[in-house]
Amino acid sequence: MSDTPHFSTLAVHAGQQADPATGACATPIYQTASFEFQDSDHAARLFNLQEFGNIYSRLTNPTVGALEARVAALEGAPAALAVASGHAAQFIVFHTLLSSGDEILASNKLYGGSVTQLSQSFKKMGWGATFIDPTDPENFRKALNDNVKAIFIESLANPGGIVTDIEAIAQIAHDAGIVLVVDNTLATPYLCRPIEFGADIVVHSLTKFMGGQGNSLGGIIVDSGKFDWSASDKYPTLTMENASYHGMVFADVFGPEMGNIAFAIACRALGLRDLGPCLSPMNAFLLMNGIETLPLRMEKHCQNAQAVAEYLQAHDKIEWVSYAGLSDSPYYNLAQKYMPKGAGAVMTFGVKGGYDAGVQIVNKVGLFKHLANVGDTRSLIIHPASTTHRQLSEAEQIKAGAGPDVIRLSIGIEDHGDIIADLDQALETL
């Protein structure tokens, strides 16, 4: 392999090597709870974080470790931590960054589950969240105060295909000496590498496009290694002595001489150790296999999505289409900057006829699978107002981008002619 392998090569080979015991080419599923120590000194070094190795599969596992190395390589980062789900990744990130009373400035263009996590569940931790319109990055600067310790955005927002100006928001975060966290789930590193535009931490729901098969839950935290934790006292988890490791200061021990991976290590040694949302070796194995075809799948996803968006835009029964690959999209120029290979595979559109028409479309499609997920090889459809957002009033649904007429599509890798034909026959029933 060359010194600077290309993305497709990394997707197949990064983090993987022949099993030392058997020579197995595919990374084995190390289905074990714990690992035998060489001797007492070896065990002590592992527990003191003086040596990297395997203790217990809640903390480290060779199969999971191979997945972590692969995703870190794809994102252009020195370290990553895989966990049980995308929500678990976000929880561990903010558990490591925040103390009670701290606040997050979050984009209001987020996956609905993230909005609920930040606005409801995080309250119990004493963490506040203010939701900001990201279409003007300066809105984040105006909302800053001394309690804000992080800005959280999605590179490509779920569900409307909204592209966020990562570079501008990163500059605002860094001017304030705080961290920018970017959820890169819908774009994947094939379309966008947020660290190259100033992101400090990247998270993924590996369940979606990275795994790509819809068969395994998983999440990951990617540490850019670029944030200077010691520049202030904003992040005591990293800069203060830690009692559970004999006074260790993570930012000192795992700083520049160790690749500046203090955040990833703290997430593992404190967050994953104490909160426990570990990824199973079986899921790690399946997700790694999925990532091998990520470049091929994303190229096909984007080609199909572009064709579907153009078809819908021209249809007389469609009111509007939200997809950044369309030249009249308000996010088209941002998509060209951040995602020149394609605008992703998720879009929303408004069908004439409102709620009843939306329900009818979902009931009449045949190729599309009606379920609450995105990022599968299969094309997926959902009518949010009758499912994921049905508990909200109509006014609340509209505010959330899930009004009565809204349908969300996640375009798969089938033949685009078959995808369009399925939508066409369903629309003809209206």
Residue 307 reports pLDDT greater than 80? yes
| Cα separation, 405 vs 156, whole angstroms | 22
Is residue 312's pLDDT more than 90? yes
Summarised one tens digit per residue, pLDDT across range 335-361 is 999 999 999 999 999 999 999 999 999
For residues 115 and 384, give the distance between their C-alpha atoms in angstroms, rounded to a whole number: 15
Considering the chain, what is the average pLDDT of its residues? 95
Under the banding of pLDDT at 50, 70 and 90, the label for residue 159 is: confident
Determine the CATH number of domain 7-290.
3.40.640.10
pLDDT in tens, 185-202: 999 999 999 999 999 999
Burial of 175 (0-12, 13-18, 19+ CB in 10 A): exposed
Tens-place pLDDT, residues 45-98: 999 999 999 999 999 999 999 999 999 999 999 999 999 999 999 999 999 999
User: Architecture of 294-427 per CATH?
Assistant: Alpha-Beta Complex (3.90)
Whether the CB-CB separation of 89 and 113 falls below 8 Å is answered with no
Give me the mean pLDDT over the 267-272 stretch.
97
- The domain ranges of the chain are 7-290, 294-427
Task: Name every residue whose Cβ is closer than 8 Å to that of residue 106 and which is 6 or more positions away in sequence.
Answer: 114, 115, 118, 129, 130, 131, 132, 151, 152, 153
- pLDDT tier for residue 158 given thresholds of 50, 70 and 90: confident
DSSP notation for 185-245: TTTHHHH--GGGGT-SEEEEETTTTTT-SS----EEEEE-S---GGGSSS-HHHHSPBGGG
